[in-house]
Chain A
Amino acid sequence: MLMRIIPFVISLVVTLGLVFALNTKIGTIPPLGKFLSPQQGFWQNAEPCDARLDEDLRFPDLKGKVKVYMDERMVPHVFAENDEDVYFVQGYLHAKYRLFQMEFQTHAAAGRLSEILGNNPQIINYDRLQRRMGMVYGAENELKAVAKDALTQKVYDAYTAGVNSYINSLSAGNLPVEYKLLDFRPEPWTNLKIALFFKVMCSDLAGQEYAKDISFSNEKSLFSKEEMDMLYPQVSDSSVSIIPKGTIFESPSVHPEIPANADSFYLQKDSIAEPVKVPKPFEVKGSNNWVVSGAKTKSGAPILCNDPHLRLTLPSIWYEMQLHTPTMNVYGVGFPSVPGIVIGYNDSIAIGLTNAGRDVMDYYQVKFKDASRNEYWYKNQWQAAEHRIEKIKVKGGATIIDTVAYTVFGPVTYDRSFTTADSNTNKALAMRWTAHDPSNEVLTLIKLNRAKNYSEYSQAIKEFACPGQNIIFGSTNGDIAIWQQGKFPARWKNQGLYVMPGEDDTYSWQGFIPQGENPHVLNPPDNFLQSANQRAVDSSYPYFIPGDYYVPRGRSIYRQLSQMQDITPQDMMRLQGNAYSTLAGDAMPLFSKYLKTNELSDNELKYWEEVSKWNFEYTGQERAPTIFQTWMDSLESVIWSDEFTQASKPVTIPSEQILLENLLRDSAFRFVDNINTPEKENLYQDVTLSFKKAVGELVKNEDGVIWWKHRNTFIQHLLRDALPAFGRTGLMCNGWSTTINALTKTHGPSWRMVIHLTKPIEAYGVYPGGQSGNPGSKFYENFIDTWATGKYFTLWMMHENESSDKRIIGQINFTNS
């Protein structure tokens, strides 16, 4: 007996210990037993490649029957008997294929990443910033606007019910693999999360990257007003606006009044300004859209194109679908988390989006009575600040409590209590942001997806507030149009360029530009329209637009489209893949003129010869683009770094385009001189020095001079560096941020679409990802190669009587009983 007890105890203890250890997440290592179990762990996410997709599903929430046909690319074609059900099924399918993405993105918006990613100071700071920006506050206000519209409310409710029906059907084994790696379970979906997703878009496309107030205020301590205007002009020399030249704007109906002391108090150089240190904003995103009328096409029907350049991720930000009900038949891409189709076409019209990039976020400096931040000075008295207590749960750590004070302007994002590695200030800066105001963007999608003509389109977009978009339109009846739509403050000249005083309402926004006065045009004489994140209007527009806009892509598109005739969809595909840089084309003659070749070494001369023969195409396999770009970066650093290193962080380095325009205008541009040397440098010296420095960099890695290697585009999984295995590298594509095919290290054409508005419509599209968010599915990244080689899929607007088509690989039937 005793002989047996000892081995029993030992083996029992070992077994229990093993089970415990293998059931526990240790650091970043998932619970290995649970994770490796073929019946519950990640193996369950390894989908059989030949799986059939047929299913019959019953949900009492449904009003009628819904049939979903999955085609060979896993695009669902949803046929619903009524309108609410289509959004239920859309929610269900989004969750079925993209649940982790939906949960991750909305957790990120709400400042809840620490809850799933654990104790990491950088992530905690990120979470705090989201809360201090009032992301949830903004989403709550969005829901207030939604509640006022019965139709939108129904759509929200149906979508949320659909997502939850899927979540409730999940067992431990069929959780998405990311849940297993991070060891957590999905929480119920809510309407708030839909609204939160819109706030993510506001933050990405109309957030801190577009509000330069803080960096400009820092720089104002260094530069005069005249210098600031030179570095950040409102209208650049070479920009081609979205609204064609010569378009007459109506006289403005709102006249914001400039405060009496603005000139002396607000705009002048301020050498004693106390700088504010805040996190560096991310790279600005871009997009292209354009439309040509039948007069320029071979068929006589308009062609509309769009390629939004967003962060390239796996799973992709887009999910492709067709939604069909008795009132709607729409095809395109939308955001998992949002009901409706965002970019696409129906039987009559097509819609494309680019970002307006308008500054709709301002900071006001407020004064608190004391460290409690209970009261702030406003209109000659102490006002009570509301406090929002933010509890940041941290996985495997103690909950962090942050208190955010709310003022009449909005949340106080930066103050002494937000001192971290990234931000540090003694000031209190309150944020005024249109994303905090109640608005209802889904209503625009509901209406646009059903719009049949220009008048229904222009009606549909009226509610769309944030993020402001250039909404381009084409119709099978021949109309083409564009509106820059959003809710934009009516600013007095220079209002909001710098942090504004917030001790009364003198500097407050006085109103908004009336929706009808937003820039727009219908059927222009040129027979085409384009937008590429440039300034929408020239200086004749009657409202002030803060600015610093992106220029080169718009110029290229304009130049190409004005020359093109008898256009076919294939021509448009080639144009979307165009990698010619007008910026490089402008820069190289200047560079050649000022490069002192007699001072170059033999090896440097070799590089010079290579780049001097360049045709300004950012071709993936070429070396010249890398040589030029390294040279350009080096010149920027030579010219700006001496002045800008004096300013506190962050600063906004002027764009390449602005540098170039200043140098073309005046080669003795004052920033050419290096202020740290007694000598006065000229442009010959700067251009030559920067070339030598560039070659010095390039010779370190000769193999990496090939352009695609240098650009190093990486389509990362949402968890980025934590999961490189779920991402994709080695993309040998052409393109750069200054070219129409705007591909950078992290961003690029996230969806390319060409819609030929014949009857019936002929459509093409592709995105760099796949319909399934599951890394274990063959549909996870199956579009990437097609996208990378500049090819497209034919988009199939299916008819219900085509259900036996050989492209259908599965059918899901939804009923309520």
Chain B
Amino acid sequence: MSMRFLLATLLTAAFAFIAGMFLPWWSIAIVSFLVALFLLPNIGLGFLSGFLGIFILWGFLSLWIDLKNESILSGKIAQIIPLGGSSILLILVTAFVGAIVGGFAAMAGSSLAPVMVRK
């Protein structure tokens, strides 16, 4: 794990957060793609970085919201979804759904990274 990987992961989370304030939810894909494109030419690491970046962002945000909300809503939604009413499971599912999109988008970015470097 290099510093570059850590940087890319944190940047993915940070930029995705900022983008999310103005753009639809799928802006996480654009951000993950771009960060990997510029920072991570390794496809495997790219996937992992996008995955982790968004996992951390969505996991942290939903956990924070849930704590402030005292799990009032997550307990109900986790019956509709259905996760047996478990707020923690719902937070993990939330983080995973975002992460899988971020991971594949970052993988696409990493795949093109050498092209960027040559230019």
Report yes or no: B69 in contact with A776, Cβ–Cβ below 8 A: yes
Within B66-101, the residues touching A (CB, 8 Å) are: 66, 68-70, 72-74, 76-77, 79-80, 93-94, 97-98, 100-101
Report the nearest A residue to B111, measured CB to CB: A8
Q: Is A260 an interface residue (CB 8 A)?
A: no
Within A540-559, the residues touching B (CB, 8 Å) are: none
Q: Which of A33, A50, A177, A723 contacts B68 (CB 8 A)?
A: A50
In whole angstroms, what is the CA distance A516 to B66 when docked?
A: 59
Q: Which of B57, B66, B100 contacts A18 (CB 8 A)?
A: B100
Within A4-37, the residues touching B (CB, 8 Å) are: 4-5, 7-8, 11-12, 14-15, 18-19, 22-23, 32-34, 36-37
Across-interface contacts of B62 in A (CB, < 8 A):
36, 38, 43
In whole angstroms, what is the CA distance A37 to B25 when docked?
A: 6
Report yes or no: A775 in contact with B97, Cβ–Cβ below 8 A: no
Report yes or no: B43 in contact with A7, Cβ–Cβ below 8 A: yes
Most-contacted residue by chain A among B17, B20, B77, B115 (CB, 10 A)? B77
Q: Is B112 an interface residue (CB 8 A)?
A: yes
Across-interface contacts of B29 in A (CB, < 8 A):
15, 19
Interface membership of chain B positions 26-44, coded 1 if the CB is closer than 8 angstroms to chain A and 0 otherwise: 1001000100000000010
Q: Which of A48, A723, A726 contacts B69 (CB 8 A)?
A: A48
Report yes or no: B43 in contact with A49, Cβ–Cβ below 8 A: no
Report yes or no: A36 in contact with B98, Cβ–Cβ below 8 A: yes
* Chain A nearest Cβ from B77, distance in angstroms: 6
Q: Is B8 an interface residue (CB 8 A)?
A: no
Q: Is A749 an interface residue (CB 8 A)?
A: no
* Chain B nearest Cβ from A597, distance in angstroms: 48
Report yes or no: A724 in contact with B79, Cβ–Cβ below 8 A: yes
Q: Which of A1, A40, A725 contacts B77 (CB 8 A)?
A: A725
Report yes or no: A38 in contact with B61, Cβ–Cβ below 8 A: yes
Q: Is A181 an interface residue (CB 8 A)?
A: yes
Within A44-65, the residues touching B (CB, 8 Å) are: 44-50
Q: Is A780 an interface residue (CB 8 A)?
A: yes
Across-interface contacts of B24 in A (CB, < 8 A):
34, 40, 172
* Chain B nearest Cβ from A460, distance in angstroms: 41
Across-interface contacts of B70 in A (CB, < 8 A):
49, 778
Known: A7-B111, A40-B20, A46-B73. A15 touches B97 (CB 8 A): no
The number of residues on chain B lying at the interface, defined by a beta carbon within 8 Å of a beta carbon of chain A, is 40
Q: Is A41 an interface residue (CB 8 A)?
A: yes
Q: Is A42 an interface residue (CB 8 A)?
A: yes
Report the nearest B residue to A4, measured CB to CB: B111
Report yes or no: A49 in contact with B68, Cβ–Cβ below 8 A: yes
Report yes or no: B108 in contact with A8, Cβ–Cβ below 8 A: yes
Report yes or no: A726 in contact with B76, Cβ–Cβ below 8 A: yes
Q: Is B107 an interface residue (CB 8 A)?
A: yes
In whole angstroms, what is the CA distance A778 to B101 when docked?
A: 33
Across-interface contacts of B57 in A (CB, < 8 A):
38
Q: Which of B58, B77, B112 contacts A38 (CB 8 A)?
A: B58
Q: Is A777 an interface residue (CB 8 A)?
A: yes
In whole angstroms, what is the CA distance A38 to B105 when docked?
A: 19
* Chain B nearest Cβ from A84, distance in angstroms: 36
Across-interface contacts of A23 in B (CB, < 8 A):
25-26
Q: Which of B21, B79, B101 contacts A33 (CB 8 A)?
A: B101
Across-interface contacts of B111 in A (CB, < 8 A):
4-5, 7-8, 11
Most-contacted residue by chain A among B20, B43, B69, B79 (CB, 10 A)? B69
Report yes or no: A42 in contact with B77, Cβ–Cβ below 8 A: yes
Across-interface contacts of A723 in B (CB, < 8 A):
80
* Chain A nearest Cβ from B54, distance in angstroms: 10
Across-interface contacts of A7 in B (CB, < 8 A):
43, 107, 111
Q: Is A39 an interface residue (CB 8 A)?
A: yes
In whole angstroms, what is the CA distance A14 to B112 when docked?
A: 15
Across-interface contacts of A48 in B (CB, < 8 A):
65, 68-69
Report yes or no: A11 in contact with B97, Cβ–Cβ below 8 A: no
Known: A34-B25, A39-B21. A46 touches B66 (CB 8 A): yes
In whole angstroms, what is the CA distance A39 to B19 when docked?
A: 10
Report yes or no: A777 in contact with B97, Cβ–Cβ below 8 A: no
Report yes or no: B66 in contact with A22, Cβ–Cβ below 8 A: no
In whole angstroms, what is the CA distance A22 to B99 when docked?
A: 12
Report yes or no: A4 in contact with B112, Cβ–Cβ below 8 A: yes
In whole angstroms, what is the CA distance A4 to B107 when docked?
A: 11
Report yes or no: A777 in contact with B72, Cβ–Cβ below 8 A: yes
Report the nearest A residue to B106, measured CB to CB: A11
Interface membership of chain A positions 326-365, coded 1 if the CB is closer than 8 angstroms to chain B and 0 otherwise: 0000000000000000000000000000000000000000
Report the nearest B residue to A172, measured CB to CB: B24
* Chain A nearest Cβ from B48, distance in angstroms: 13
Report yes or no: B68 in contact with A15, Cβ–Cβ below 8 A: no
Across-interface contacts of B76 in A (CB, < 8 A):
725-726, 775-776
Report yes or no: B100 in contact with A4, Cβ–Cβ below 8 A: no
Report yes or no: B101 in contact with A49, Cβ–Cβ below 8 A: no
Known: A22-B101, A46-B73. 15 other contacts (CB 8 A): A1-B115, A4-B112, A4-B114, A23-B25, A33-B101, A38-B94, A39-B17, A39-B61, A43-B73, A45-B73, A46-B65, A46-B66, A725-B76, A725-B79, A775-B73
**Can you give 7 A-B contacts (C-beta < 8 A)?**
A4-B112, A15-B108, A33-B25, A33-B26, A36-B58, A38-B94, A43-B74
Closest 3 CB pairs of A and B: A776-B73, A8-B111, A38-B61
